[in-house]
Amino acid sequence: MLEPLGPGGNLIYQARGFDLETNAPVEETPNKANPGDIFLFAASFLLRPEIVSYFDYCIYIDTDFEVAEQRGVDRDAARLGSRENAVRLYRQRYHAAQRIYFAESNPVQYADVLLKNNNLAEPILFFRANHLS
Same domain, 86 and 124: yes
Number of domains in the chain: 2
Report yes or no: 61 and 119 within 8 Å, Cβ to Cβ: no
pLDDT tens for residues 41-52? Answer: 888 899 999 999
Residue 12 belongs to what domain range? 1-39
Same domain, 60 and 1: no
Same domain, 93 and 57: yes
Please compute Rg for the chain using Cα positions: 17
pLDDT tens for residues 72-112? Answer: 999 999 988 999 999 999 999 999 999 999 999 999 999 99
Same domain, 69 and 131: yes
Average pLDDT, integer, range 108-120: 96
Cα–Cα distance measured from residue 60 to residue 44, given in angstroms and rounded to the nearest whole number: 10
Bridge-partner residues for 133, per DSSP? none
